[in-house]
């Protein structure tokens, strides 16, 4: 068990925005949420995030994630930030993991490995080797053992050539953190209190310090500007797309496939360009996804064809369905096997039975449709009376003519036929009956002439 301290009190001035950079979305959720989720998977005893007094929106998000909040009154460096969290430590002897709040992609696997190092050491520093180490504090070693961390502005010319750098990740025993934080001085160019100085203090007091080397720099890359944000997100989602490509999914262009959540794909799936996947999405085998589609919290079955420009959100698409193009499937919808949903059709909070077809220009909301139904073009379920939503039920083997309006609550019983252009307000008898509900047709002769007479 360990405690996590996340440092997030910076002013985020380089983001040129009116909110903390920790709130900016990356790969489908806020930066801070990625970090919190990874730590919570490792069962951190408690999580403390250090913020500044202006971070009201950030505080609300942290509380919703059950994260404790500490305020850094004086923004005077990372040591000051860590010190602000000490009063919230729930135990005095547990390990403490300190993370940067702007590095979203640290993995649970790495977190476990770093904290495990404290079984034999007093502290562990996360490091990484970079081809271009500019901007990072350098790891100074003697006989392969770490002796200190020097911030770049304080390095010598030789030290600047060192490629192993500090990631900002430190695991340390809580009693030592509490004991030595107050000994850190601001004897540096920026006159800040650097948390990294605690490593030299520990070593000088004969404490055992080790390192954990990250092999994937994506895990420790931070966001300081919107340029950083965009570049880091592109690297992250490109890697996820390329991984799927390597494992058998045909992704036509990984650079134009945005996987912002968890995408699970079975074999022989094809994904065309410009598709976006958010939250949790699963796709069954032999399914084809056309270009420009959006998926969020949905399950797609086997042998499904999603045609271009389709939106599917919070829904389940069973096997052998055809959906789109330009269809919108909204939350709470379930398409049973072999359903066809065509162009410019919107379905919301409805169940569509097997082999039913809704092929053109229709709205189906708050409805339950049976099997083997044909919904004609332009059909609408009128589900809202201005105050409440009502349900439409269409039983199996029915035929709904084009341009029909079904005013809920209403039931179309099994085997019903509805004449095109009808407005149905009462239940139909079913059993092969034909219901026609149209106003009497009236033609007014020379109506146009009357309207334009004297218009000059």
DSSP string, 444-456: -TTHHHHHHTT--
Same structural domain for residues 258 and 141?
no
Same structural domain for residues 244 and 184?
no
> Between the CA atoms of 191, 172, 179 and 205, what dihedral angle is there, to the nearest 10 degrees?
-90
What tokens does 129 get? 């080797």
Question: Residue 412's domain is classified under what CATH number?
Answer: 2.160.10.10
CA distances from 275 to 250, 268, 317, 359, 423 (A): 13, 17, 17, 23, 38
Instruction: Tell me, yes or no, whether 55 lies in a domain.
Output: yes
Q: Is 310 helix (H, G, I), strand (E, B) or coil?
A: coil
Short-list 275, 285, 286, CA closest to 252? 275
Same structural domain for residues 29 and 139?
yes
User: Final residue of a domain: which of 185, 200, 219?
Assistant: 219
Look at phi and psi of residue 324 and say left if phi exceeds 0, alpha if psi is from -120 to 50, else beta: left
Distance CA 403, CA 133 (A): 66
Residue-by-residue pLDDT tens, the chain, 456 positions: 899 999 999 988 999 999 999 999 999 999 999 999 999 999 998 999 999 999 999 999 999 999 999 999 999 999 999 999 999 998 777 899 999 999 999 999 999 999 999 999 999 999 999 999 998 999 999 999 999 999 999 999 999 999 999 999 999 999 999 999 999 999 988 899 999 999 999 999 999 999 999 999 999 999 999 999 999 999 999 999 999 999 999 999 999 999 999 999 999 999 999 999 999 999 999 999 999 999 999 999 999 999 999 999 999 999 999 999 999 999 999 999 999 999 999 999 999 999 999 999 999 999 999 999 999 999 999 999 999 999 999 999 999 999 999 999 999 999 999 999 999 999 999 999 999 999 888 877 877 665 555 544
Half-sphere exposure of 290 (CA within 13 A, CB side): 15
Instruction: Tell me, yes or no, whether 455 lies in a domain.
Output: no
The catalytic residues are 360
Distance CA 50, CA 80 (A): 10
- How would you classify the pairing of strands 270-271 and 250-251? parallel
Same structural domain for residues 207 and 252?
no
User: Final residue of a domain: which of 219, 235, 257?
Assistant: 219
- Give the range of the structural domain holding residue 85, as residue numbers without chain letter: 3-219
Number of structural domains in the chain = 2
Ramachandran angles phi, psi of 213, nearest 5°: -95, 120
Short-list 266, 220, 260, 217, CA closest to 240? 260
Instruction: Tell me, yes or no, whether 446 lies in a domain.
Output: no
CA distances from 413 to 103, 173, 333, 399, 430 (A): 58, 70, 21, 11, 5
User: Rg of the Cα trace of the chain?
Assistant: 30
User: Final residue of a domain: which of 219, 239, 259?
Assistant: 219
């Amino acid at each position: 068990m360990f405690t996590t301290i996340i440092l997030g009190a910076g002013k985020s001035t380089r983001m040129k925005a009116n909110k903390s950079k920790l709130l900016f979305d990356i790969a489908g959720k806020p930066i801070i949420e990625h970090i919190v989720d990874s730590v919570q998977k490792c069962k951190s005893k408690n999580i403390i995030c250090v913020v500044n007094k202006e971070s009201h929106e950030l505080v609300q998000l942290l509380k919703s994630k059950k994260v404790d909040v500490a305020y850094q009154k004086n923004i005077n460096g990372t040591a000051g930030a860590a010190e602000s969290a000490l009063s919230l430590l729930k135990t005095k002897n547990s390990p403490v993991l300190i993370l940067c709040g702007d590095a979203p992609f640290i993995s649970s696997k790495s977190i476990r490995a770093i904290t495990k190092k404290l079984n034999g050491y007093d502290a562990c520093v996360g490091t990484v080797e970079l081809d271009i180490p500019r901007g990072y504090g350098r790891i100074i070693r003697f006989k392969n053992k770490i002796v200190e961390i020097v911030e770049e502005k304080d390095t010598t010319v030789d030290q600047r050539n060192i490629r192993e750098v500090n990631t900002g990740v430190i695991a340390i025993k809580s009693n030592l953190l509490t004991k030595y934080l107050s000994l850190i001085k601001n004897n540096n160019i920026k006159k800040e209190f650097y948390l990294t100085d605690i490593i030299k203090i520990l070593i000088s007091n004969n404490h055992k310090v080790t390192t954990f080397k990250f092999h994937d720099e994506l895990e420790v890359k931070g966001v300081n500007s919107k340029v950083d944000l965009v570049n880091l997100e592109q690297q992250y989602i490109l890697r996820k797309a390329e991984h799927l490509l390597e494992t058998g999914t045909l992704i036509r262009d990984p650079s134009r496939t945005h996987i912002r959540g968890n995408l699970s794909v079975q074999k022989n799936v094809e994904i065309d360009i410009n598709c976006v996947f958010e939250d949790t999405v699963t796709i069954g085998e032999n399914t084809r996804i056309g270009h420009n589609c959006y998926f969020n919290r949905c399950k797609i079955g086997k042998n499904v064809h999603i045609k271009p420009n389709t939106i599917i959100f919070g829904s389940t698409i069973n096997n052998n369905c055809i959906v789109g193009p330009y269809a919108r499937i909204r939350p709470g919808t379930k398409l049973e096997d072999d359903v066809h949903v065509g162009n410019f059709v919107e379905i919301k909070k409805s169940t569509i039975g097997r082999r039913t077809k809704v092929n053109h220009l229709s709205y189906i909301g708050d409805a339950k449709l049976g099997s083997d139904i044909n919904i004609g073009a332009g059909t609408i379920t009128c589900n809202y009376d201005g105050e409440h939503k009502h349900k439409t039920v269409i039983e199996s083997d029915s035929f709904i003519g084009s341009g029909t309006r079904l005013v809920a609550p209403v039931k179309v019983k099994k085997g019903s036929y509805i004449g095109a252009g009808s407005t149905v307000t009462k239940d139909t008898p079913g059993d092969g009956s034909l219901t026609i509900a149209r106003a009497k047709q009236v033609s007014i002769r020379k109506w146009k002439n009357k309207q334009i007479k004297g218009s000059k």
